[in-house]
Structure 1
Amino acid sequence: MKQTITPHAEPHDPATQKAAMAGEPVQQSPSEIQDPRLRHEVRKAAIWIGMTLLAALIVFFAQPLLVILGGVVFATMVDGGARLLGRVLPLGRGTRVGIVLVLTLIFLIWAIAYTGSQIATQAAEMPAVIQLQANRAVAWASAHGIDVGTADIKSLAQQMVTGVGPVTRALGGLIGGLTTLLMIVVLGVYLALEPRLYERGVAWMLPVEGRERFHETASRMGFALRRLLAGRLTGMAVEGVATGVALSIYGVPMAALLGLLTGLLAFLPNIGAPISGVLMILVGFSGGTDMGLFCIGVYIAVQSIDGYLIVPMVAKKTVDLAPALVLGAQLVFGVMFGILGLALADPIVAMVKIALERRAELNTERVRAES
């Protein structure tokens, strides 16, 4: 059936537009929506469906995306080290990145060669020590009239031995934890060697008018991540070394392992410190009350130095993340994506915060320009 186009039809086909302007009757497609209100609702529904599909794809590809993000974080740490070397060594970027990677490899080989056997022995002994201390805690609580479920305490102790809750999950990803870690390192090396190449590649997929804004936002994210991770690595080194040395001086069992765990768990703010503290205190009380009180003092001193000196000086001034926001993100990402999501929650929140702040700045500038 033929009919004349109404003003609301808004034909997009050139031939249809020409016929409509000449007042000639044209054939309408059965799928074309004539009612502008219905057409508007269909567009809104299509947007919501597209957003739902996009969210589903993000969840489905969460692990590969986290691996890529882990590579970005590793590349940022390498880039930060290369920039520090650039202040004292007039070398090319590739050479400085190579020096950072070689020094990191040397440190890992040294740590494995000189402390690997000792830490492995201590790691084998720790589960029994933690279980024994948990049983003693249950017995003490029962003697003082506190009803504590023995099964719950044992389950909690076993979780602490292996890292507590989400931390016990495998890194996830392609084949297993080692493969995921290897993929993160390889991606990080490629990104650290030629960051501008990949940044231009991402910008190329954006509209031309948005590329300059993307480069500015990416630059701010990189700066903030370098400062954030510098603070995190500094805190890890200070906490791990100080804890290990202090416990070794007093003769606390498994001091090297406790120092290593404290340093590694320091990468997880708000969550890692309590875990390492509980492990340290339980091991300390296995050697007597005095040793347990000493471990409590070491934990308080080390955490105070990290919390009141290192974090405010390096990380908090740059990103200024609310502790409750970071903790909530860690809990959500830890439950959803395991230890990899737990470790990357802080950088993700920092980048999202910077992106939102940048968008707010652009909106403010646009409003001022229009007024």
Structure 2
Amino acid sequence: MVTGTFARQVGFVIGALGVILLAWRLSDVLVLAFGATVLATALLAGSTRLERLFGLPPRTAVIVTLLLVTMALAFGGWLVGDRFAEQMERLRERLPAAIEAATTWLRQQTFGQSVLQWWRNGMKGDAVSWAPVVNAAGLTFGALGSAALMVVLAIYLALDPELYRRGVLRLVPQTLRPRMAAAFEASSEGLQRWLLGQGISMLFVGCATAIGLAVLGMPMALSIGVIAGLMDFVPYFGPIASGLLAVLFAFTEGPEKALYVGLLAIAIQQFEGNVLMPVVQRRAVELPPVLGLLSVVVFGLLFGVAGVVFATPLMVVTMILVQKLYVQEVLHDPMPATVEPDRDATPPHMPIAERRDT
């Protein structure tokens, strides 16, 4: 009996290690699948509201949502597409001049000389290698292909989510399927709320940056604002990168303008972090700052650039699954989750089915 129990334990450990190794080897596929799941969750969030408002069938609601999103993107492209494309081309053309202006200003500062020396050491001399440029181009084309595949996968997932949900549950022992199903539903709800909060934050950052730069008289305010809004999807590092980009191009207008742009970027991020997000997170998902920062580092090391992009939603889903499957089911601890989907909702230990009935 003891030998049989020990053998099962050893087999479980070996099987777990095998799953971890397989997941690591297939990390690119797993991140691609998770990105598709995030997009599918966003589509389902919109289609669910159409179902409730107009009584549409689920698949019809998804198709209508896709059509509305496509029409909105087409209208936005028609409205500002030419101007945005022109500004992006001007950004590309003015990038060398912006770098030269910033470098000239740094040479005139004491600390700037140290920064330039550190940069030269990192680049191993003043010579610029074209290898990083070629690698960046390859990564760009690869990312575009992955994004297109992600969109296609998301559409299929959104059209019939129950099919894939049942497929995953079939891999779980029958006794654990109800718990796993409840955990999946809680993760979906938490992910939807996080997407809503993040969408509001990105919209604010993009609009505030574009308007603020236009008020300061900065050229190409629209394109920089769009870039800032998109990069806000990556917490902490995205806003820093977009702020540095805006300051870099502001150097073409002079150091004083760069100072004003830097102050604008700091003000926008402080307002977002201390005023907007606390209000949004009352109905969305609240992730502790330390976990949010660690998620970028950990998932970036595990999955590369894609892991950095999807670090926060990965941590949101991970925390909810740990709360539902381990803290509540194994430790029998009914305390609220670290990631709280909705403070005003029913207690997290109440079964999903009971929540719908209340």
- TM-score, normalised by the number of residues in structure 2: 0.79
Equivalent position of 1:147 in the other structure: 114
- 1:361 — aligned with what? 328
Gaps of 5+ in 1: 1-9, 11-35, 157-163
Q: Which residue of 1 aligns with 2:24?
A: 59
What pairs with 1:313-328 in structure 2 (closer than 5 Å)?
313-315=279-281, 318-328=284-294
Which one of the candidate residues 39, 43, 49 is aligned to 1:74? 39
- The C-alpha deviation readout for 1:55-87, integer Å capped at 9, x for no partner, is 211111110111111110001111122233345
Matches within 5 A, 1:265-280: 265-280=231-246
Report the identity percentage. Answer: 27
The number of equivalent residue pairs is 320
Matched AA of 1:91: L
Given that 1:243 and 1:302 are in contact with CA atoms closer than 8 Å, whether structure 2 keeps it comes out as: yes
The reply on whether 1:119 has 2:87 as its aligned counterpart is yes
Task: Report the CA distance shift for 1:187/1:194 in structure 2 as closer, same or farther (over 3 A).
Answer: same
The alpha carbon displacement at 1:265 in A equals 0.4
Query: 1:222 and 1:54, CA in 2 relative to 1: closer, same or farther beyond 3 A?
Result: same
Change (3 A) 1:212 1:48: closer
**Once the two structures are superposed, what CA deviation does each residue of 1:111-167 show, in whole Å capped at 9, x if it has no partner?**
44333422331331342144124313431334x6963443616969xxxxxxx9xxx
Moved more, 256-265 or 242-251: 242-251
The Cα of 1:357 is off from its aligned counterpart by 0.9
Residue 133 to residue 102, structure 1, CA distance change in 2 (3 Å): farther
Q: CA deviation at 1:317?
A: 5.4
Aligned to 2:274: 308
Q: Cα 1:315–1:83, aligned 2, differ >3 Å: closer, same or farther?
A: farther
Secondary structure, aligned partner of 1:268: coil
Post-superposition CA distance 1:89-115 (Å, at most 9, x none): 333332332232223223333444333
Q: Relative to structure 1, is the Cα distance of residues 86 and 250 closer, same or farther in structure 2, using a 3 angstrom cutoff? A: farther
Structure 1 residues 320-359: aligned runs within 5 Å: 320-359=286-325
Q: CA deviation at 1:41?
A: 5.5
Q: Which moved more, 1:222-231 or 1:208-217?
A: 208-217
Encode CA deviations 1:308-345: one digit per residue, 9 max, x unaligned: 34322334654332212221221232244232111111
* Partners of 2:301 and 2:53 in 1: CA distance: 43
CA–CA separation in structure 1 for the residues paired with 2:121 and 2:86: 27
- Shift in CA distance, 145/86, structure 1 to aligned 2, threshold 3 Å: closer
Q: Are residue 202 (structure 1) and residue 168 (structure 2) matched?
A: yes
Q: Measure, in 1, the Cα distance between the counterparts of 2:52 and 2:5.
A: 58
Contact 1:330–1:346, Cα closer than 8 Å, also in 2: yes
* 1:85 is the counterpart of 2:85: no
Q: Secondary structure at the match of 1:320?
A: coil
The 3 A distance-change label for structure 1 pair 145 and 80 is closer
Equivalents in 2 of 1:252, 1:95: separation in Å?
A: 45
Structure 1: distance between partners of 2:333 and 2:252: 64
- 1:48 correspondence with 2:7: no
Partners of 2:309 and 2:198 in 1: CA distance: 11
Q: Tell me what 1:226 maps to.
A: 192
The amino acid that maps onto 2:248 is L
Distance change >3 Å, CA 125–CA 151, structure 1 → 2: farther
Query: Secondary structure, in 3 states, of the residue corresponding to 1:362?
Result: coil
TM-score (norm 1): 0.76
SS at match of 2:328: helix
Counterpart contact for 1:227–1:314, Cα < 8 Å: no
Report the more deviating stretch, 123-132 or 213-222: 123-132
Is there any run of 5+ residues in structure 2 with no aligned partner, and where?
Answer: 124-131, 335-358
Q: What is the rounded CA distance, in whole Å, between the counterparts of 1:341 and 1:170 in structure 2?
A: 18
CA distance in 1, matches of 2:204, 2:166: 37
1:105 counterpart = 2:73:
no
Shift of the 346–209 alpha-carbon distance from structure 1 to 2, 3 Å rule, reads: same
Say which one has the larger Rg: 1
Q: Distance in 1 between matches of 2:328 and 2:224?
A: 45
